[in-house]
Copies of this chain bind each other. A is one copy, B any other.
Amino acid sequence: MSPESDGEAAGSVRIGRGAIAALASAFPYPPGRVFLVSSPGVLRFHGGAVRRALAGREVVEIAAEDGERAKTFDTLRAILDAAIEAGVRRDDAVVALGGGTVTDVAGFAAAILLRGIAWYAVPTTLLGMADAAIGGKTAVDHPLGKNLVGAFHPPSGVLVDPDLLATLPPDRFREGLVEIFKGLLVGNAAAARKMAGRLETLAGTREVDDFLGAAIRVKLAIVGRDPRESGERRVLNFGHTLGHAIEAASGYRGWSHGEAVAVGMAAALSISSRTEGFPAADALVLAAELVRFAGKAAPKWSEALEGALSKDKKGEAAGLTGVLLSDWGRPVMRKVPPAEWRRSLEALSGGEGTMPSPDAS
């Protein structure tokens, strides 16, 4: 049961093609009902398989839209209302089937229903499988920023079935590749070197099972050591400090999460090579690949960007902590003044090895 499982903050993860068929037996469940939270779109693709897998259980379906725009307090409240109207009890469990939005919001609902009931994640996007559904961070957005309200509430089980990715649109697949590459860069040098230079190829072949598995193992190891993000876990925000600022400064329009994080990683690599000893030639090549893969030129510095950077919730009063790399797989954290982010963005758009291509998503 999740409420007692701070010691198992990473949760139990099952990975395998076709694993969805064994959803009901993959994990121990509490004896009550299953509240299946998912969107009509996802249910159209995967509802049949999930309902068959849960055929032996009493299932209550709760509709929740997917996509960042639905990651709101109102969506949360609708899930809470539906569960409460169905008479939710402490021995019921939530199963969240969908992308990062649905697992984040449904997981948060499970965290606060009756002060915490068990939940299980079945991510249907590559981003969700590699990152969002792993590790127990749940949240909703606020008009003033992302993930500002939430809870640490580890799922009691995460089922990762890459077969579910067959229906994922290309831009969503690309976004997941960026997160996988991020995980490997901070936690698995060998796998990161293997993946480098292949982002575009992998977006075509979709043969990512090995890299996905490696990225999940990186995240599980880090989260296991620091479930509450009081220290080391923050290295998983590599590329996200600037990435979130880019998304916020654009009003969450025009930049997808994956595009913004790819540019954020490129900028962080640029700083890393200047100040942390990350190999300069590698940084140039990687930054160029990331910006090219994002398919967008790095944004110009702006007041909106500076304002958004000052609101990132990871920062304490003294300034924003950035994640940099001293080498492949070797993250370091330190305060990065806005001027350094600005300089790195100017370097990226100044033609130092970067060749932005037209929007590729």
Contact = CB atoms under 8 A, between A and B. Distances in A.
Interface string A303-343: 00000000101111100000000000000000000000000
A225 B142 CA distance: 36
Interface stretch (A19-27, A144-152, A252-260): A144-152
A108 B113 CA distance: 12
A331 to B, nearest CB: 20
Given A115-B150, A148-B113, A152-B115, A80 B142 contact: yes
B151 A137 contact: no
B137 A115 contact: yes
A345 to B, nearest CB: 24
A230 interface: yes
A89 interface: yes
Contacts of A139: 115
A230 B118 CA distance: 13
A6 B5 CA distance: 11
A360 interface: no
Nearest to A145: B84
Q: How large is the interface on A (under 10, 10 to 19, 20 to 34, 35 or more residues)?
A: 35 or more
A277 interface: no
A32 B317 CA distance: 7
A351 interface: no
A196 to B, nearest CB: 32
Given A112-B150, A145-B84, A89 B4 contact: no
Contacts of A56: none
A228 interface: yes
Contact of A4 (B91, B228, B311): B228
Contacts of A274: none
Secondary structure dominating the interface of A:
mixed
Contacts of A150: 112, 114-115
A90 interface: yes
Chain copies in the assembled complex: 2
Interface string A166-197: 00000000000000000000000000000000
A85 interface: yes
A317 B91 contact: yes
B151 A116 contact: yes
Given A3-B152, A3-B228, A84-B144, A316 B115 contact: no
Contact of A144 (B85, B91, B142, B151): B85
A90 B4 contact: no
A77 interface: yes
B142 A84 contact: yes
A28 interface: no
Nearest to A108: B112
A211 to B, nearest CB: 28
Contacts of A87: 311
A142 B151 CA distance: 20
A35 to B, nearest CB: 14
